[in-house]
Amino acid sequence: MASHPVAPGRGFLFALCVALPMVLGACRGQPSGEPPVVVIRNMHDQPRYDPQAGSGLFEDGRAMRPLPKGTLPREAPILVEVAHGTTETGDWVLEIPRPVVARAGGPERLVQRGQQRYGIYCAPCHGAAGDGKGVVSVRAAEVGAAALQATTLHDERIRHIPDGQLFGTISNGIRNMPAYRHSIPTEDRWAIVAFVRALQLTQSKGLTP
């Protein structure tokens, strides 16, 4: 033994490096009915209500609260008309879908919301009156970047495109105009459509918006 002082150490190292991982690894993937061993339990025992449980906190004595009015489940089927401005067969919808108007609280509220959003997202290029004379367009004209000049929204053609196509233009962009799908939520894009329609009406009748 005295001539092999290293031997026990090697045996121990072998056990540590090879045998121990094998023994521990053998437990992996085995189903167990036992609760897991958790050393620090402070996240395990949390005060909470179970489904259908009672609670003295609320008047109706239920812990599960009814959904707030107007809540939509994430899994709810999204109306293709609302999401894309097209019918199931791929044609542009002619008018703003009714559920959008209803959720906004009526046409006036939708137009008001649209006016505010238009001022933020469209007016810098298309101008507050929709005449295509926003600050970006004016600057683009000054530096000779004609391609970046926004068009007037009172063009005869644009006045007659379906509401869905206007929604699609805002969502997907068109030629030199960027897409606004990611910066403006769906319902707000419809609100802008409503306001652009109102703007077109007032301008075509020579009224101020």
Q: How far is the CB of 112 from ligand HEC (least distance, A)?
A: 16
Interface residues for ligand HEC in 146-205 (CB under 6 A)?
A: 148, 150-151, 153, 158, 166, 169-170, 174-177, 180, 192, 196
Q: How far is the CB of 188 from ligand HEC (least distance, A)?
A: 9
Q: Show Cβ contacts of residue 199 under 8 Å, excluding neighbours closer than 6 positions.
A: 118, 129, 130, 153, 154, 209
- Of 41 and 182, which CB lies nearer to ligand HEC in the complex structure? 182
- Of 101 and 125, which CB lies nearer to ligand HEC in the complex structure? 125
In single-letter form, the type of residue at position 18 comes to: V
**Of residues 145, 198, 189, 188, the one with CA closest to residue 171:** 189
Q: How far is the CB of 202 from ligand HEC (least distance, A)?
A: 16
With binding defined as CB under 6 A, does residue 125 bind ligand HEC?
A: yes
- Of 102 and 174, which CB lies nearer to ligand HEC in the complex structure? 174
Cβ contact 61:54 at 8 Å: yes
116, 121, 172, 209: which one contacts ligand HEC (CB under 6 A)?
A: 121
Which span (65-73, 74-82, 92-100, 120-128) binds ligand HEC, by CB under 6 A? 120-128
Tell me the CA distances in angstroms from 113 to 136, 196, 209, one per residue in order. 23, 12, 14
Residue nearest to ligand HEC (CB): 122
- Of 79 and 176, which CB lies nearer to ligand HEC in the complex structure? 176
Q: Show Cβ contacts of residue 204 under 8 Å, excluding neighbours closer than 6 positions.
A: 154, 159
Q: Give the separation between CA 142 and CA 116, rounded to whole angstroms.
A: 28
Q: How far is the CB of 177 from ligand HEC (least distance, A)?
A: 3
How many residues in the shown chain lie near ligand HEC by CB under 6 A? 21
With binding defined as CB under 6 A, does residue 128 bind ligand HEC?
A: no
Structure tokens at 185: 């939520």
Q: Give the separation between CA 196 and CA 200, rounded to whole angstroms.
A: 6
Compute how many other C-beta atoms are within 10 angstroms of the C-beta atom of residue 176. Answer: 14
Q: Give the separation between CA 52 and CA 65, rounded to whole angstroms.
A: 10
Residues that bind ligand HEC (CB under 6 A): 121-122, 124-126, 136, 148, 150-151, 153, 158, 166, 169-170, 174-177, 180, 192, 196
